Amino acid sequence: MKRALHLVVAVAFALAGALAWAQRTVLQPGAHDALAPAGPQAARIGDLWDLFMVICGIVFAAVLITLAVALRRAPRADAGTPADVSMADRHEPGPYRSVLVGVGASIVLLFVLLVASVSTDRALARLPLQGALNLTVTGHQWWWEIRYDGDPVSETFTTANELHVPVGRPVVVTLRSDDVIHSLWVPALAGKKDLIPGRTATLQFQAAQPGTYRGQCAEFCGFQHAWMAFEVIADTPEQFAAWAARQRAEAAEPTDEKLRRGREVFLGSTCVMCHAIGGTDASARKAPDLTHVGSRTTLAAGTLRNDAESMTRWIRNPQQIKPGVNMPSSTLADADLQALVAYLGSLK
């Protein structure tokens, strides 16, 4: 009996370890992977994950092996075999002890998991926040409005669907929603937090190394929930400062006839009803701010690459790419559309 128990525990350990190793190495992490941490928050969660995998793996294996042994050693029977009621109302010491040991071990392990979980939770809430960068993200159906709160206030600027953060500096994001519940989630950096209308939440994270990390909305929010993504680009502090300075500036002036025509098309047609471009008369806030749209890596909330061809397709018929999205199709003539795309592409 004791030898069987030792065997069970040994095999369980081995299996759990193998599974944890396989998961971290063999399965290639993608662009958007909770197990490829790039910041202290996600790393702490990753450590907790490892502990859970090991303990849960051991328990799972132990239960199954015990069951397998039970099934193998029990004699066979059929419907006619008389049932054994001799133990009715009698104490069965063997099974009683085993069940007690099993339950006792379960309670101890559960307690370990509980303590680990709560202490990780507290550590996550204690990310040092000196010199934090402050952002406000407002969720819309189906895009992200990102406002960098400037100090002084005149340095505030707004962008959409792309966050830049300096490496090594804590970021405090204030989360609001304009319509329904969304959820901000960048798996490589931190756990998620819901953006709930009528409430303000905060999320803290920090990027430990430069890179591009993808995030996606993680609360069902309507037709285009599937394509409501964004990017977090971790820059070196110098790169970040340069980027922020560019973002604060007004939109680039058109330098040639085609770009000028593009701006005219923008200001003269339906675009201005929803989009803003700093430095022009367009100041509507119902759709992503386009002041520096040319500088972004993606379009349409992380759905398309930001190049002329995608931008043209998007403006011509957004419903083809993201059915149900709030942006209407356009009926611009080809030449006008090309000029518009060129102009928007120039807004770096």
Which residues, numbered 246-265, are part of the site for another protein (CB under 8 A)? none
Contact between residue 156 and residue 187 where contact means Cβ atoms under 8 Å apart: no
Between residues 60 and 243, which has the closer beta carbon with respect to another protein? 60
Q: Which of 3, 82, 238, 281 binds another protein (CB under 8 A)?
A: 82
Q: Which residues, including other chains, have CB under 8 Å from residue 38's CB and lie 6 or more apart?
A: 188, 189, 207, 208, 209, 211, 213, 234
Q: According to CB under 8 A, which residues from 289 to 318 bind another protein?
A: 303, 317
Determine, following the binding rule CB under 8 A, whether residue 21 of this chain makes contact with another protein: no
Q: Please name which of 165, 158, 186 lies closest in space to residue 293, comparing C-alpha atoms.
A: 158
Between residues 2 and 122, which has the closer beta carbon with respect to another protein? 122
Q: Please name which of 268, 267, 257 lies closest in space to residue 342, comparing C-alpha atoms.
A: 257
Q: Which of 137, 167, 205, 214 binds another protein (CB under 8 A)?
A: 214
The number of residues in the chain equals: 348
Q: According to CB under 8 A, which residues from 57 to 76 bind another protein?
A: 57, 59-60, 63-64, 66-67, 69-71, 73-76
CB of 342 to another protein, least distance (A): 21
Q: According to CB under 8 A, which residues from 216 to 245 bind another protein?
A: 216-226
Determine, following the binding rule CB under 8 A, whether residue 27 of this chain makes contact with another protein: yes
Omega before 152 cis (within 30°)? Answer: yes
Q: What is the distance between the alpha carbons of residues 135 and 148, in angstroms, rounded to a whole number? A: 5
Determine, following the binding rule CB under 8 A, whether residue 88 of this chain makes contact with another protein: yes
Q: What is the distance between the alpha carbons of residues 203 and 213, in angstroms, rounded to a whole number? A: 16
Determine, following the binding rule CB under 8 A, whether residue 283 of this chain makes contact with another protein: no
Q: According to CB under 8 A, which residues from 38 to 57 bind another protein?
A: 42, 44-45, 48-49, 52, 56-57
Between residues 244 and 299, which has the closer beta carbon with respect to another protein? 299
CB of 341 to another protein, least distance (A): 18
Q: Which of 5, 15, 172, 201 binds another protein (CB under 8 A)?
A: 201
Name the DSSP class of 151: S
Give the distance from CA 148 to its chain's centroid: 20
Determine, following the binding rule CB under 8 A, whether residue 187 of this chain makes contact with another protein: yes
Q: What does the angle CA 306 – CA 311 – CA 312 come to, to the nearest 5 degrees?
A: 150
